Amino acid sequence: MSAEKGLLVVVSGPAGSGKGTVLPKVMAAGGFRFSVSATTRAPRPGEADGVNYHYLTREAFEARIAAGDMLEYTTYCGNYYGTPKKEAEAVLATGCNLLLEIEVEGAANVKKAYPDALLIMLLPPSFAVEEARLRGRGTESEEKIKARLAQARHEVEQAPLYDYIVYNRDGEADRAAEDILAIVRAERLRTVRNPDAVQNYFA
Ligand code: 5GP
């Protein structure tokens, strides 16, 4: 086999990028595990502890940081978000790709700690669509929506730091998911990721 190690795949999508539609399609293709992040934000209706996030108090989150349990973490719109380290490393050791859906600062920190990580930015169809979607969700106050939109614009500006940009054009979520799968498939075959590939292949 040419590729034994799982790839650490980081996908950042500003609010409204449609990552909630695109990433389940990527997961459905198989070969990926999704990293369940920890957060101090409250669950939204329909979200479940251990499925969407591990919901922690600030004290519990800070204790996990102090214990070195977070592969990366950040504060986003007033709440902590982080990737539990043990779970992530266990998945990668199985050879499965690990998908982290995290914001830009966390992505940059992952790249520093794991230079092999693959960074993909998913772009929304437009900011107008994004704003309408956030309001339609009806779960956030006006002030929070404004903060999220400002954050989204900031995140889009970071796109050049990513290895790949995937465009989630209106009504083309399938295409965006296929693009992510194509990127990961090609990356797993890169010579530099598999220095012993030829020898192993003919062994
Ligand atoms: P939301 O509150 O909408 O679920 O997530 C807000 C932002 O936090 C999103 O951009 C999401 O990608 C990011 N996020 C979720 N989990 C993590 C994490 O573990 N680490 C970091 N750095 N960002 C995260």
Segments forming the whole domain that contains residue 51 = 8-195
Per the domain annotation, does 202 fall within a domain? no
pTM of the model: 0.90
Per the domain annotation, does 73 fall within a domain? yes
Q: In angstroms, what is the span from residue 199 Cα to ligand 1's centroid? A: 41
In this prediction, residue 1 carries a pLDDT of: 42
Closest residue by CA, ligand 1 atom 12: 102
- Which of the four pLDDT bands, split at 50, 70 and 90, describes residue 134? confident
Contact criterion met (CB below 8 Å) for 47 and 34 = no
Is residue 76 within 6 Å of ligand 1 at its C-beta?
yes
Per the domain annotation, does 185 fall within a domain? yes
Rounded distance between C-alpha atoms, residue 30 and residue 123, angstroms: 23
Q: In angstroms, what is the span from residue 189 Cα to ligand 1's centroid? A: 29
Per the domain annotation, does 81 fall within a domain? yes
Per the domain annotation, does 200 fall within a domain? no
Q: In angstroms, what is the span from residue 174 Cα to ligand 1's centroid? A: 22
How much is the average pLDDT of 64-89?
96
Residue 51 sits in a domain whose CATH number is 3.40.50.300
In this prediction, residue 79 carries a pLDDT of: 97
In this prediction, residue 5 carries a pLDDT of: 74
Is residue 37 within 6 Å of ligand 1 at its C-beta?
yes
Per the domain annotation, does 2 fall within a domain? no
Is residue 152 within 6 Å of ligand 1 at its C-beta?
no
Ligand 1 atom closest to residue 19's alpha carbon, by position in its atom list = 12
The lowest-confidence range among 12-26, 81-95, 131-145 is 131-145
Per the domain annotation, does 150 fall within a domain? yes
Number of domains in the chain: 1
Per the domain annotation, does 144 fall within a domain? yes
Contact criterion met (CB below 8 Å) for 4 and 95 = yes
- Which of the four pLDDT bands, split at 50, 70 and 90, describes residue 151? confident
